[in-house]
Chain A
């Protein structure tokens, strides 16, 4: 099974290098949550923003849907150029070697 690498900077600034398969229908929140890096309270429905992260690399990601944009719009820690909800980013080859920074919880 093909794997990709995800580089994560946690809330304390510590770096993690994660490997994850691409053929299991996971999203980025699933992977981060399985390593206890985000809470992912709502289970991936863009309802809670407990998987808010900043995309630090220049990867081109899938477009944001209204639910995600509306949720991000309410956050105080938003960075308009970098903020994403990890639950809305599918794990595919397109994000291989991406670098994400976990945002502080609002």
Chain B
């Protein structure tokens, strides 16, 4: 079980929730489980082929998955998977 933390911009598409608990051993599996609960989220953060849009950042326990194995990055039990917009800062 992983805890997915959603940014404010995505909460309306998840029934207002900021946190969603889903099963999955990789980021890709966690996101698929998330899309199964809230289909609209898929269009918002992923392209048609399932790759994440270029302005979406995903972190597993605080680490950007681009430092790991992208969507294949393992998600340990109880891990926090955070989705955030990339266009901040600087």
Partners in one complex: no
